[in-house]
């Protein structure tokens, strides 16, 4: 299998996982899907590192796999276990309608990616298309889901998409920036995890739409 095939396969796999996340109500499965998605991102980074001999990408791949495919999913699963809420009961939009919207978003993302310069054909075209679609799907998930955990996962999906472009299309980011982002992500997840605990403590539910009742 050629390098470009492997890259496209992984990117398409990430898109499928984002898509399945939309069609999924069980929180555990959604977290596992995120873990698989991060693993695929790690494979993309390793492939780029080997094929273009950019050795600093090995560090990126290691950070991605350890942090996003193992630590964060483990932490989120622990949070769910603690608070004992396992399902997204009723999103603002039901599953078939969400899927339909996401199909539209992906088409938009792909269409926009064709507007990039001619140099960005083939692999880059697909990577940018997938990443833009994932950003849009992630934003859509954040808006339509009520559970705080799903919203965290959506944010992380957007972050994965941005990373996909950074690793696959650009010449890469300096290691310092990457470490900074990694640290940011882990902090965000920790803070959000604590926030989820607080929300559940106060409202006995993860439903963030209830937060509007806080208004005086």
- Total binding residues toward another protein, as defined by CB under 8 A: 29
Round to whole Å and give the CA distance between 169 and 54.
13
**Minimum distance between the CB of residue 38 and another protein, rounded to whole angstroms?**
18
Q: Which of 163, 200 has the CB closer to another protein?
A: 163
Stretch that binds another protein, among 65-73, 94-102, 169-177, 192-200 (CB under 8 A): 94-102
Q: Which of 129, 168, 172, 193 binds another protein (CB under 8 A)?
A: 129
Binding flags for another protein, 98-117, as an x/- string (CB under 8 A): -xx-xx--xx--xx-xx---
Q: Which residues bind another protein (CB under 8 A)?
A: 1-2, 4-5, 8-9, 11-13, 15-16, 19-20, 23, 95-96, 99-100, 102-103, 106-107, 110-111, 113-114, 126, 129-130
């Amino acid at each position: 299998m050629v390098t470009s095939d492997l890259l496209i396969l992984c990117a398409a796999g990430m898109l499928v996982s984002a898509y399945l996340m939309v069609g999924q109500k069980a929180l555990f499965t959604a977290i596992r899907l995120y873990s698989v998605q991060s693993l695929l991102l790690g494979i993309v980074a390793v492939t780029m590192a080997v094929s273009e001999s950019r050795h600093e990408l090995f560090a990126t791949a290691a950070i991605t796999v350890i942090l996003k495919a193992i630590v964060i999913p483990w932490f989120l699963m622990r949070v769910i276990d603690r608070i004992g809420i396992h399902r997204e009961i009723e999103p603002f939009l039901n599953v078939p309608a969400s899927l339909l919207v996401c199909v539209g978003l992906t088409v938009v993302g792909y269409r926009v990616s064709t507007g990039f310069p001619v140099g960005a054909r083939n692999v880059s075209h697909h990577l940018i298309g997938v990443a833009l679609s994932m950003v849009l799907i992630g934003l859509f998930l954040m808006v339509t889901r009520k559970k705080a955990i799903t919203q965290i996962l959506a944010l992380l999906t957007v972050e994965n998409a941005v990373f996909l472009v950074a690793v696959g299309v650009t010449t890469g980011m300096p290691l310092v920036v990457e470490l900074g982002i990694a640290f940011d992500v882990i902090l965000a997840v920790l803070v959000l995890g604590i926030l989820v605990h607080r929300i559940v403590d106060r409202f006995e539910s993860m439903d963030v739409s209830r937060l509007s009742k806080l208004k005086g």
